[in-house]
Amino acid sequence: MNKTLILIQCKDEVGLVALISKVLADHKLNITAMREFVDEAVNHFFARIECSGSESEEGKLYNALNKGLPYGAEVIINPNPEKRIVVLVTKEYHCLADTLVRNSFNTLEAKVCCVAGNYEVLKPFTERFDIPFHYVSHENKSKHDFEKELLDIIATYKPDYIILSKFMRILSPEFVAQFPGKIINIHHSFLPAFIGASPYRQAFERGVKLIGATAHFVTSDLDDGPIIVQRIIPVNHTFGVSEMVKAGKEIEKAVLSRAMQLVFEDRVFITGNKTIIFE
């Protein structure tokens, strides 16, 4: 039995679910799972639909859906099930290690095309997995030149997403604008608290009782993009900065992994500075 995945977002209006259901039935597709949501603040409809049935010609199905949906609707049928990703790193290995292991065992639902870093620290580790590593130093060059080198490398791999796996450089708005909704960052705190550098020290000095991690899409506003996944763990007065960092690394891996899974399974829609997630 053939499987079909359909992603829809459009202006909301009465009868959309009925219309979509009829089009799919006319194409002999049976809905096996359907999640929909209306963002009333902007009057926008979102849907993720899984279908089974005889093979339907995608072009005809696409045209039939677009004909009935409001003007400007975005319809995607059977998006690429294996996304291509480029991973950017600095020196910390824990998130990269988790990603490369999952990639090696084909549980990432994506293909790591390459790893690029502004230090060579993680090059030997990356190459153990037969993944290309590109070293791009940020020293003694302008931000523009540094990012131009990165962009040239990224362009050769044509990735669907860029993963900032503890990449400790702030990307320029010009860089980010080239990949709207396609850059995912793992931030080592529960945003919007403790943005920027040294969040664990900030948390320690504030005497918090919970620490967390946040995976989010990158925008031109530092650590303020649409949030995908957040998790927290308890800490107490016995935790120094080093203990917080150690505990935080474990939750960072889990949060980034879950965020990538949701995105790669096409379960995440962006609306303004928020996300809609059909888990």
Closest of 215, 223, 224 to residue 258, by C-alpha: 215
Describe the strand order of the beta sheet including 44-53 as a list of residue ranges: 29-39, 44-53, 2-11, 74-77
CA distance 247 to 252: 9
β-bridge mates for residue 128, sequence order: none
- Catalytic residue among 98, 160, 223, 266, which? 223
What is the torsion angle, in degrees rounded to the nearest 10, for the CA atoms of residue 23, residue 24, residue 28 and residue 31?
Answer: -150
φ/ψ of 147, rounded to 5, equals -70, -30
224 classed as catalytic: no
Question: How many other CB atoms are found less than 10 A from the CB of residue 106?
Answer: 10
**DSSP-derived 3-state class of residue 174:** helix
CA distance 216 to 48: 21
Q: Residue 192: is the preceding peptide bond cis (ω within 30°)?
A: yes
Give the helix ranges, DSSP H, for the chain. Answer: 16-26, 58-68, 94-104, 123-127, 143-157, 173-177, 199-206, 241-264
Active-site residue list: 223
